[in-house]
Structure 1
Amino acid sequence: MPRTDKASRLIAAPPARVYAAFVDPDELLAWLPPGDMTGRFDHFDARTGGSYRLTLTYPDAGTGKTTTDSDVVEARFVEVVPGVRVVQAVDFVSDDPAYAGTMIMTWAVAAAESGTRVEIRADNVPDGISAEDHAVGLASSLANLAAHVEN
């Protein structure tokens, strides 16, 4: 059954700085992988109609969706509104039908009194991703983002 997961965080940095971390591949690799995962892009084109392929690697085998230690995602940029939001259509590369379907990820920034309110919305989350694990992963990525841009 499709579901929507959401997360948000107030970040003590200007919206332009936070938004820049959404569309630069080096910056994304610094904050997006949750926990102690690492990532690499095979290609990256951050514009409406562009795409990327990202491999996230777990430190321990046994939890990956694509291989025992990795998740591979193919994503398309559905909408890129500079300084406002990035909307992506994300597909997991997996033989497991529990990860089938296209998840729509929306990352948005808005000015707040003490910095930037970042909102993440994931629509059509695959059934194979537990709500609890996804909440932990989203919170971890937001904490990484805050640590990355709050200088």
Structure 2
Amino acid sequence: MHTTQVSRLVRAPRPVIYRALLDPEAIAAWRVPEGMSSRVHTFEAVEGGAFRISLTYDSSGEPGKSGEHTDTYHGRFVTLVPDELVVEESEFETGDAAMGGRMTMTTRLTDAGDGTLVTILHEGIPDAVSPADNETGTRMALDKLAALVEEVTGLSPA
């Protein structure tokens, strides 16, 4: 199992970012790496609430963890601290034991100058998932999050 951590300064206040962490339409827009599309099947943004999300590769040449070109994962919200913290547990829907196991994703929001430092800690990443690929995907997602919330607030990118 692997652990990764990625941070990014986002020029938006914590409450705006927190809302984007708990809105299924926003999640579908930002929490997806380049070259993939997202579909939110279930999303109950309360402590103990369930979620289920599929990420599909735009290119048919990419293998998926759950299907031919798709990574589907499901889980629950463990902890929600308004404007500060979101902790989620999830696992891939897969028959591949190397991709199995429960992962924890902790997203922390911290005031930082004229914006918010968003830090995402992934714990329990299956050995079959490259930590470098996970970090790259997380950076892409954080860039999309920044673009989404900075557009809403009218602040220029950091």
Q: Into which bin does the TM-score normalised by the smaller protein fall?
A: over 0.9
Aligned equivalents of 1:63 and 1:141: distance in 2?
20
Is residue 2:79 matched to residue 1:79? yes
Distance 1:15 1:104 in 2: 21
TM-score (norm: length of structure 1): 0.96
Partner residue, 1:141? 141
Q: In the alignment, residue 3 of structure 1 is paired with which amino acid?
A: H
SS across alignment from 2:125? coil
Partner of 1:3: 2
| Secondary structure at the counterpart of residue 136 of structure 2 | helix
CA distance in 2: counterparts of 1:145 and 1:125, whole angstroms? 22
Q: CA deviation at 1:36?
A: 2.3
| 1:15 to 2:17 alignment | no
Task: Find the aligned partners of 2:15 and 2:111 in 1 and give their Cα distance.
Answer: 9
Aligned residues with identical type, % of pairs:
37
SS of residue paired to 1:89: strand
Report the counterpart of residue 68 of structure 2 in structure 1.
68
Cα deviation, 1:33-92, whole Å, max 9, x if unaligned, reads 111211111111011000111011111233210012100001110111111111000100
CA distance in 2 between counterparts of 1:78 and 1:12 reads 27
Aligned length: 150
1:1-151 matches, cutoff 5 A? 2-61=1-60, 62-151=62-151
Q: CA deviation at 1:3?
A: 1.9
Q: What amino acid sits opposite 2:40 in the alignment?
A: F
